[in-house]
Amino acid sequence: MRILLAEDVKKVAEHIRAGLVAEGYSVDVAADGDEALWLGEINPYDAMVLDVMMPGKDGFTVVRQLRRKQITTPVIFLTARNEVEDRVRGLDAGGDDYLTKPFSLAELCARLRALLRRQRPGATNVVRVADLELDLVEHQARRAGQAIELTRREYALLEFLMSASPKPVSKAAIIEHVWDQHFDSETNVVNVYIKHLREKIDRPGFAPLLHTVRGVGFVLREDTA
């Protein structure tokens, strides 16, 4: 899923970004509150991880302004301050969770998974489409109980398709969520990765699940035609 990370200390931001990317997230990084607000307004993030004390607007101000614009993306605040009053301020500003520095990346990822589950009522750590399942904690895919080996990018692509199922997704949406960049109509990278993924999940003997929707993009679902 696509995450906005706002952290003004470059080394800290890169450490967190690398950890989130290793977990399969697509991450945009903002170096100050003004950039975080701008990115949060124009991009459809699944969650935001915001440092409280940043140059320009602080994290609380960023979230308050996003909420006034009806942007309800879940937010985890990061801060070196652990006073109850600060946690209350963060939650009252519209935040969903609060993590005190220093923290482990494992805990941050667990809290992100919890936030994303709450955005999908009834969701669990395992996503299923027909006999294909994806364990979001173990990062393991299986088809009819058989393990499927995926690269990190293939995993991110499969997670995005399964989360959207049974709705199709466009190439532009895939590029933005899986590759961290704006869509280039000339690129063939999505088709290449769709081909690799299809070879792995739609092996001989299995009903096809990954379909091309002409003029729209791609969809992961049982073919009921």
User: Does pTM surpass 0.75?
Assistant: no
**225 assigned to some structural domain:** no
**Rg of the chain on CA atoms, in Å:** 19
Q: Residues 98-112: pLDDT tens digits?
A: 888 888 888 888 888
**Same domain membership, residue 182 and residue 105:** no
Last residue of a domain, one of 77, 102, 119: 119
Distance CA 53, CA 33 (A): 9
pLDDT at 180: 61
Q: Which long-range contacts (CB under 8 A, 24 or more apart) does 91-94 make?
A: 93/60, 93/61, 93/63, 93/64, 93/67, 94/63, 94/64, 94/66, 94/67
Last residue of a domain, one of 119, 135, 154: 119
Q: Helices marked H in the chain — which ranges?
A: 10-22, 33-42, 59-68, 84-92, 105-119, 152-164, 171-178, 189-201
Q: Residues 22-58: pLDDT tens digits?
A: 887 888 899 999 999 999 998 888 899 999 888 889 8
Domain of 73, in residue numbers = 2-119
Q: Residues 62-97: pLDDT tens digits?
A: 999 999 998 888 999 988 776 677 777 777 777 888
Q: Residue 34's domain is classified under what CATH number? A: 3.40.50.2300
**Same domain membership, residue 163 and residue 59:** no
